[in-house]
Amino acid sequence: MGKDLENMTSEEKRETAKIDHDRVAYQYGEEYGKFIEPEDLDVYEAFEKEIPKGCTILDLGVGSGRSYGYFDKRGYKYIGYDFSEQMRNCAFELHGKFPYIVDDFVNLKNHFESNSVDTVFAIYSLFHLPMEDFKKALLDIYDILKNNGVFLLSCTLGSGEELIDEPYLGDDGKSVLYMCYIPKEELYRLLRESGFDIIFEKVKHEDGSNTLGENGNDAIYVITKKIGTR
Protein backbone atom coordinates (compact mmCIF):
# COMPACT_ATOMS: atom_id res chain seq x y z
CA MET A 1 0.00 0.00 0.00
CA GLY A 2 2.98 2.28 0.52
CA LYS A 3 1.53 3.88 3.66
CA ASP A 4 1.92 3.43 7.38
CA LEU A 5 -1.16 2.04 9.07
CA GLU A 6 -1.82 5.26 10.97
CA ASN A 7 -2.02 7.22 7.71
CA MET A 8 -4.39 4.84 5.92
CA THR A 9 -8.09 5.49 5.49
CA SER A 10 -10.67 2.84 6.36
CA GLU A 11 -11.18 2.22 2.65
CA GLU A 12 -7.45 1.69 2.12
CA LYS A 13 -7.32 -0.75 5.03
CA ARG A 14 -10.19 -2.77 3.58
CA GLU A 15 -8.60 -2.63 0.14
CA THR A 16 -5.58 -4.57 1.44
CA ALA A 17 -7.80 -7.66 1.76
CA LYS A 18 -9.00 -7.36 -1.84
CA ILE A 19 -5.49 -6.83 -3.19
CA ASP A 20 -3.98 -9.62 -1.11
CA HIS A 21 -6.72 -12.14 -1.85
CA ASP A 22 -6.61 -11.38 -5.56
CA ARG A 23 -2.87 -12.10 -5.52
CA VAL A 24 -3.02 -15.38 -3.60
CA ALA A 25 -6.42 -16.71 -4.69
CA TYR A 26 -5.20 -19.73 -6.62
CA GLN A 27 -2.51 -20.65 -4.09
CA TYR A 28 -5.08 -20.43 -1.30
CA GLY A 29 -7.65 -22.32 -3.34
CA GLU A 30 -5.23 -25.15 -4.07
CA GLU A 31 -4.65 -25.65 -0.33
CA TYR A 32 -8.03 -24.79 1.17
CA GLY A 33 -10.59 -24.60 -1.65
CA LYS A 34 -12.05 -27.99 -0.77
CA PHE A 35 -10.63 -28.47 2.71
CA ILE A 36 -12.11 -27.52 6.07
CA GLU A 37 -9.87 -27.87 9.09
CA PRO A 38 -11.07 -30.78 11.27
CA GLU A 39 -11.00 -28.56 14.36
CA ASP A 40 -13.60 -26.29 12.71
CA LEU A 41 -16.13 -29.01 11.89
CA ASP A 42 -17.84 -28.80 15.28
CA VAL A 43 -18.56 -25.13 14.59
CA TYR A 44 -20.18 -26.01 11.25
CA GLU A 45 -22.22 -28.71 12.98
CA ALA A 46 -23.32 -26.35 15.75
CA PHE A 47 -24.38 -23.81 13.11
CA GLU A 48 -26.41 -26.46 11.26
CA LYS A 49 -28.27 -27.36 14.44
CA GLU A 50 -29.58 -23.79 14.67
CA ILE A 51 -30.75 -23.29 11.07
CA PRO A 52 -33.67 -24.73 9.09
CA LYS A 53 -32.93 -27.50 6.61
CA GLY A 54 -32.67 -26.18 3.08
CA CYS A 55 -32.50 -22.52 4.09
CA THR A 56 -30.37 -19.93 2.29
CA ILE A 57 -26.92 -19.21 3.73
CA LEU A 58 -25.19 -15.92 2.96
CA ASP A 59 -21.43 -16.48 3.33
CA LEU A 60 -19.52 -13.24 3.93
CA GLY A 61 -15.94 -14.04 2.95
CA VAL A 62 -16.67 -17.11 0.84
CA GLY A 63 -13.20 -16.98 -0.74
CA SER A 64 -12.45 -20.02 -2.90
CA GLY A 65 -15.65 -21.74 -1.85
CA ARG A 66 -14.78 -24.41 0.67
CA SER A 67 -17.85 -23.68 2.79
CA TYR A 68 -20.00 -23.73 -0.34
CA GLY A 69 -18.83 -27.27 -1.01
CA TYR A 70 -19.76 -28.31 2.52
CA PHE A 71 -23.24 -26.76 2.61
CA ASP A 72 -24.21 -27.50 -1.00
CA LYS A 73 -23.79 -31.22 -0.38
CA ARG A 74 -26.17 -30.91 2.55
CA GLY A 75 -28.96 -29.34 0.54
CA TYR A 76 -28.68 -25.69 1.57
CA LYS A 77 -29.14 -22.79 -0.81
CA TYR A 78 -26.09 -20.59 -0.85
CA ILE A 79 -24.97 -17.05 -1.73
CA GLY A 80 -21.29 -16.18 -1.60
CA TYR A 81 -19.99 -12.65 -0.97
CA ASP A 82 -16.36 -11.59 -1.06
CA PHE A 83 -14.00 -8.68 -1.77
CA SER A 84 -11.97 -10.62 -4.32
CA GLU A 85 -12.83 -11.22 -7.98
CA GLN A 86 -9.94 -13.69 -8.30
CA MET A 87 -11.27 -15.69 -5.35
CA ARG A 88 -14.60 -15.89 -7.18
CA ASN A 89 -12.88 -17.11 -10.34
CA CYS A 90 -10.99 -19.73 -8.34
CA ALA A 91 -14.18 -20.84 -6.57
CA PHE A 92 -15.96 -21.30 -9.89
CA GLU A 93 -13.11 -23.41 -11.24
CA LEU A 94 -13.16 -25.61 -8.13
CA HIS A 95 -16.91 -25.92 -7.57
CA GLY A 96 -18.71 -24.70 -10.67
CA LYS A 97 -20.68 -21.48 -10.76
CA PHE A 98 -22.95 -20.51 -7.88
CA PRO A 99 -24.44 -17.20 -6.70
CA TYR A 100 -21.42 -15.05 -5.78
CA ILE A 101 -21.35 -11.29 -5.15
CA VAL A 102 -18.02 -9.44 -5.42
CA ASP A 103 -18.14 -6.23 -3.38
CA ASP A 104 -16.91 -4.49 -0.26
CA PHE A 105 -18.63 -5.65 2.92
CA VAL A 106 -19.68 -2.08 3.74
CA ASN A 107 -22.00 -2.25 0.71
CA LEU A 108 -23.97 -5.22 2.02
CA LYS A 109 -27.30 -3.39 2.11
CA ASN A 110 -26.96 -2.48 -1.56
CA HIS A 111 -27.61 -6.16 -2.29
CA PHE A 112 -30.11 -7.27 0.37
CA GLU A 113 -33.31 -5.78 1.74
CA SER A 114 -34.25 -5.66 5.40
CA ASN A 115 -35.51 -8.96 6.86
CA SER A 116 -34.65 -10.90 3.69
CA VAL A 117 -31.82 -13.28 4.64
CA ASP A 118 -32.24 -16.61 6.47
CA THR A 119 -28.72 -16.98 7.89
CA VAL A 120 -25.30 -15.32 7.70
CA PHE A 121 -22.03 -17.25 7.91
CA ALA A 122 -18.86 -15.15 8.32
CA ILE A 123 -15.71 -16.89 9.44
CA TYR A 124 -12.15 -15.72 8.75
CA SER A 125 -13.38 -12.51 7.11
CA LEU A 126 -14.73 -9.74 9.35
CA PHE A 127 -11.35 -9.24 11.03
CA HIS A 128 -10.27 -7.41 7.85
CA LEU A 129 -12.68 -4.57 8.70
CA PRO A 130 -11.57 -1.56 10.75
CA MET A 131 -13.51 -1.32 13.99
CA GLU A 132 -16.01 1.32 12.86
CA ASP A 133 -16.74 -0.71 9.72
CA PHE A 134 -17.07 -3.86 11.82
CA LYS A 135 -19.66 -2.14 14.01
CA LYS A 136 -21.58 -1.06 10.91
CA ALA A 137 -21.40 -4.59 9.51
CA LEU A 138 -23.02 -5.99 12.66
CA LEU A 139 -25.90 -3.52 12.33
CA ASP A 140 -26.28 -4.23 8.61
CA ILE A 141 -26.28 -8.00 9.18
CA TYR A 142 -28.91 -7.61 11.88
CA ASP A 143 -31.03 -5.52 9.52
CA ILE A 144 -30.97 -7.94 6.57
CA LEU A 145 -31.57 -11.05 8.70
CA LYS A 146 -35.07 -12.34 9.14
CA ASN A 147 -36.39 -12.51 12.69
CA ASN A 148 -34.76 -15.46 14.50
CA GLY A 149 -32.14 -15.54 11.73
CA VAL A 150 -28.81 -17.08 12.75
CA PHE A 151 -25.45 -15.34 12.39
CA LEU A 152 -22.12 -17.14 12.83
CA LEU A 153 -18.94 -15.09 12.92
CA SER A 154 -15.34 -15.51 13.91
CA CYS A 155 -12.89 -12.90 15.16
CA THR A 156 -9.32 -12.93 16.39
CA LEU A 157 -9.05 -12.03 20.05
CA GLY A 158 -6.58 -9.33 20.99
CA SER A 159 -6.39 -5.55 20.74
CA GLY A 160 -5.54 -2.94 18.17
CA GLU A 161 -4.82 -3.31 14.47
CA GLU A 162 -1.86 -4.11 12.25
CA LEU A 163 -0.66 -4.99 8.78
CA ILE A 164 0.39 -8.63 8.79
CA ASP A 165 2.54 -10.68 6.43
CA GLU A 166 1.07 -12.80 3.65
CA PRO A 167 3.03 -16.09 3.79
CA TYR A 168 2.09 -17.11 0.25
CA LEU A 169 3.96 -14.07 -1.11
CA GLY A 170 7.29 -14.54 0.67
CA ASP A 171 9.42 -11.39 0.75
CA ASP A 172 6.81 -9.54 -1.33
CA GLY A 173 4.19 -10.17 1.33
CA LYS A 174 5.57 -8.21 4.27
CA SER A 175 3.01 -6.11 6.14
CA VAL A 176 0.41 -6.16 3.36
CA LEU A 177 -2.83 -7.43 4.94
CA TYR A 178 -4.94 -5.44 7.40
CA MET A 179 -6.16 -7.12 10.57
CA CYS A 180 -8.28 -5.76 13.41
CA TYR A 181 -8.43 -7.53 16.78
CA ILE A 182 -11.01 -7.33 19.53
CA PRO A 183 -11.25 -8.40 23.20
CA LYS A 184 -13.93 -10.98 23.89
CA GLU A 185 -15.81 -8.70 26.28
CA GLU A 186 -15.97 -5.93 23.66
CA LEU A 187 -17.14 -8.35 20.97
CA TYR A 188 -19.96 -9.60 23.17
CA ARG A 189 -20.96 -6.05 24.08
CA LEU A 190 -21.15 -5.03 20.42
CA LEU A 191 -23.15 -8.12 19.47
CA ARG A 192 -25.69 -7.54 22.22
CA GLU A 193 -25.95 -3.82 21.48
CA SER A 194 -26.56 -4.70 17.82
CA GLY A 195 -29.51 -6.88 18.88
CA PHE A 196 -28.09 -10.40 18.86
CA ASP A 197 -28.62 -13.16 21.40
CA ILE A 198 -25.46 -15.27 21.86
CA ILE A 199 -26.15 -19.01 21.75
CA PHE A 200 -22.76 -20.68 21.11
CA GLU A 201 -19.09 -19.93 21.64
CA LYS A 202 -15.85 -21.69 20.86
CA VAL A 203 -12.34 -20.35 21.40
CA LYS A 204 -9.57 -21.97 19.37
CA HIS A 205 -6.18 -21.55 20.98
CA GLU A 206 -3.42 -20.96 18.45
CA ASP A 207 0.24 -21.70 19.07
CA GLY A 208 2.91 -19.29 17.92
CA SER A 209 3.30 -20.84 14.49
CA ASN A 210 -0.38 -20.34 13.63
CA THR A 211 -0.99 -16.82 14.89
CA LEU A 212 -1.84 -14.26 12.24
CA GLY A 213 -0.01 -11.30 13.73
CA GLU A 214 1.64 -9.85 16.79
CA ASN A 215 -1.45 -8.32 18.41
CA GLY A 216 -3.97 -11.12 17.93
CA ASN A 217 -3.87 -14.73 18.97
CA ASP A 218 -6.82 -17.01 19.72
CA ALA A 219 -9.75 -17.29 17.33
CA ILE A 220 -13.30 -17.07 18.65
CA TYR A 221 -16.39 -18.44 16.91
CA VAL A 222 -19.78 -17.12 18.05
CA ILE A 223 -23.25 -18.19 16.91
CA THR A 224 -25.94 -15.60 17.51
CA LYS A 225 -29.63 -15.14 16.75
CA LYS A 226 -31.61 -12.06 15.80
CA ILE A 227 -34.36 -11.65 18.37
CA GLY A 228 -37.14 -9.14 17.72
CA THR A 229 -36.27 -5.58 16.73
CA ARG A 230 -33.45 -3.42 18.01
E strand map for the chain: 56-60, 77-82, 100-102, 117-122, 145-158, 161-164, 177-180, 196-204, 216-226
- Rounded to whole angstroms, the Cα distance separating 148 from 154 reads 19
pLDDT along the chain (230 residues), means of 10: 80 97 94 89 97 97 96 97 97 97 98 98 97 98 98 96 94 95 97 97 75 68 87
Q: Which residues pair with 96 in a beta bridge?
A: none
Q: Say what the pLDDT of residue 1 is.
A: 45
Q: Say what the pLDDT of residue 4 is.
A: 84
Q: Report the CATH number at residue 113.
A: 3.40.50.150
Q: Say what the pLDDT of residue 217 is.
A: 75
Domain that holds residue 104: 1-117+138-157
Assigned domain for 216 exists: no
Q: Say what the pLDDT of residue 205 is.
A: 86
Q: Say what the pLDDT of residue 184 is.
A: 96
Assigned domain for 166 exists: no
Assigned domain for 212 exists: no
Assigned domain for 189 exists: no
Among the listed residues 228, 226, 156, the one whose alpha carbon sits nearest the alpha carbon of residue 198: 226
Assigned domain for 194 exists: no
Neighbour count for residue 146 (Cβ, 10 Å): 15
Please count the structural domains in the chain. Answer: 1
Within 13 Å, how many C-alpha atoms sit on residue 98's CB side?
28
Assigned domain for 221 exists: no
- Rounded to whole angstroms, the Cα distance separating 94 from 92 reads 5
Assigned domain for 60 exists: yes
